[in-house]
Amino acid sequence: MSEQTILSIRNVQVHFNVKAKSKLPWAPSRTLKAVDGVSFDLKAGETLGVVGESGCGKSTLSRAILNLIPATHGEIVWMGKDLSGATTKQWHGVRRDIQMIFQDPLASLDPRMTVGQIIAEPLREHRPGMSKDEMNQRVRAMMAKVGLREQMINRYAHEFSGGQCQRIGIARALIVEPKLIVCDEPVSALDVSIQAQIVNLLKSLQQEMKLALIFIAHDLAVVKHISDRVMVMYLGHVMELADKHSLYARPRHPYTRALLSAVPVPNPAIERTKVVQILSSDIPSPINPPTGCVFHTRCPIAEARCSREVPPLRTLEHGVAAACLLA
């Protein structure tokens, strides 16, 4: 893995105005803070896993990185270039280097296009001078790389299984040889056996093509298998950021400990005796988040000051960072 930082996210916020449920036209709108001050760096060839409960802002953050959703505030720095306020033309050049794999493999593919047309689409957009023969050769070579037979090139997406559709999505993302792939829960809609195939495929392609990955998932076992570092999010904030060995061996934030306690252990003896930390109450609304530490309403070790003070994401040791006053 290279030491070169290719992506820097600095205090990125994504807020939405939500219209009040009122018949009065002058009723004020409220602000939904989907992502609220996230910062991290990503090195070339590195995989950053992003985990957290549904609604914590993982997918919103991934879309903000690609400007599919505009960031309300903060800096997105790609290869030393600040993309804040970048024009559509400037983003067009960046999109060759940053591609995305979506959560629903079938819904992300155009049902009116053949597999060959779907995979070749980024080439037509970003390599307009490429001849049809060369484009066809590139598509067939990429299909072979992701485990699709050449005879499938003229078939349509609805003729494939979920795992095969995700392979098509991976081929489409890789065809322009990007430097970064943002994977937005790419295996959550697939069977467990197919999940393992897709994760192993991504790992092998990453090593072969020197890719950096941002891998978003709910399954902490999958994230541990593929990631170098892991970022834990809760209600739009980063709770903990550490290399995977430190985070899984000794989680510092009580939210991380609760998530890890729910991960199944393949040893039946350990599984029967382990203590699962069940969080009290539901996740608060991002429209009306708690004051102080956003996790204090569900935290088993919270003190009075946790409801007043906002904990910064501070480095503890060996590159481990946690946003907890008691860590």
Per-residue pLDDT of 26-48, as tens digits, reads 677 888 999 999 999 999 999 99
| Residues 151-174 as b or e (16 or more Cβ within 10 Å = b) | ebbebebeebebbbbbbbbbbbbb
Q: How far apart are CA 236 and CA 175, in angstroms?
A: 32
Per-residue pLDDT of 173-195, as tens digits, reads 999 999 999 999 888 878 888 88
pLDDT for residue 267 is more than 80: no
Q: Cβ distance 94 to 179 under 8 Å?
A: no
Q: Which residue has the higher pLDDT, 287 or 263?
A: 287
Q: How far is CA 275 from the centre of its chain?
A: 29
Percent of the chain with pLDDT over 70: 98
Q: How far is CA 12 from the centre of its chain?
A: 15
CATH 3.40.50.700 fits 5-17+32-244, yes or no: no
Task: Give this prediction's pTM.
Answer: 0.91
**Which residue blocks in the chain are alpha helix, DSSP H?**
58-65, 88-94, 115-126, 132-145, 162-174, 192-209, 220-226, 244-249, 254-261, 268-273
Per-residue pLDDT of 100-132, as tens digits, reads 999 888 888 999 999 999 999 999 989 888 999
Using 50, 70 and 90 to split pLDDT, how confident is the model at 317?
A: confident
* Residue position matching structure tokens 């001078």: 129
pLDDT for residue 242 is more than 90: yes
Residue of 105, 98, 22 lying closest to 64 (CA atoms): 98
Compute and round to an integer the Cα radius of gyration of the chain: 21
The domain spans of the chain are 5-17+32-244
Per-residue pLDDT of 217-228, as tens digits, reads 988 888 998 999
pLDDT for residue 137 is more than 90: yes
Residue of 115, 127, 113, 114 lying closest to 176 (CA atoms): 127
